Amino acid sequence: MTIDCDTQLTPDWIWAVMTILQEARNQNLDGMIAVAEVIRNRAQAKFFSDGTIIGTVLNPYQFSGWNTKDPNRLICGKLTYDNPMTQQAMKAWRLAIMNNTEMTSGALYYHTKQMSPFPDWAKSGKLAVTATIGDHIFYKDKV
Each residue's pLDDT, cut to its tens digit, for the chain (143 residues) gives 666 667 788 899 999 999 999 999 999 999 999 999 999 999 999 999 999 999 999 999 999 999 999 998 888 889 899 999 999 999 999 999 999 999 999 999 999 999 999 999 999 999 999 999 999 999 999 98
Report CA dihedral (117, 121, 126, 129) to the nearest 10 degrees.
-60
Domains of the chain with bracketed CATH: 12-141 (1.10.10.2520)
Pairing state of beta strands 127-133 and 109-112? unpaired
What pLDDT was estimated at residue 3? 64
> What is the pTM for the complete model shown?
0.93
